[in-house]
Amino acid sequence: MRNAVVHDAHAAIAGLRDGHAVMVGGFGGAGVPRNMIRAVLDLGVRDLTVISNNAGSGGEDLTLWFSERIVRKIVCSYPRSADVFAEQYRAGSVELELVPQGTLVERIRAGGAGLGGFLTPTGVGTVFEKGKEKVIVDGCEYLLERPLHADFSLLKGRQADVLGNINYNKTARNHSVVMATAGKVVAVEVDEIREAGALDPEGIVTPCIFVDRVFVSRKA
């Protein structure tokens, strides 16, 4: 029988390398995979491209990665309240690709679904259209948005079973559901792991087919 359980955060991120693209779940302080964020620092990788909703809010989140200067570029929708990132961005030492939140989620979904992109009116006539292909459909202008993929997706769930089926704590699921479909390696830290068949099938949000590794989150 399939078993996706690994011992800890370090085992969950095994194979992460310099220059990889990493999706990180979380919205503010909710649903942040803090154990794996710290483990990435221990790994000593550099030049990461990070895809996340925000750039940290000053706690044990992506702020740690920016403090250690291991991020080359971030793709996000809300970099405000991220003082360490802001300082580096103003100094020109980190690159930002700013994406409207709905567009960010849909780009990740497109990546997970194997789509070549999608058309959206969001950003037409603004700075967001710079460098993007514009398409006219029925007389309306749209921007072609490209899909997003990652080498790793690092996520936080509430419960898993040993197969890798995941549920979440209410809105702490945030971007994790689509990110689970768009990473080559999907690692999830959870509060509890149960045996196969113990989770209510109706409550499983991310099926095990998308999940490679799960482990029980240790409290800091």
18-49 pLDDT, tens digit per residue, is 999 999 999 888 999 999 999 999 999 999 99
Res 59 pLDDT > 90: no
Res 220 pLDDT > 70: no
CB contact at 8 A, 109 and 82:
no
CA-wise closest residue to 109 among 203, 31, 210:
210
pLDDT in tens, 153-163: 999 999 999 99
Question: Would you kindly state where each structural domain of the chain is located, as residue ranges?
Answer: 9-114+150-216
Residue 145, Cα to own-chain centre: how many angstroms? 18
Share of the chain above pLDDT 70, in %: 100
pLDDT tier, 57 (very low <50, low <70, confident <90, very high otherwise)? confident
* Degrees to nearest 5, angle at CA 71 with 32 and 146: 80
Res 71 pLDDT > 60: yes
- Please give the model's pTM, rounded to 2 decimal places: 0.96
Q: Which CATH class is domain 9-114+150-216?
A: alpha beta
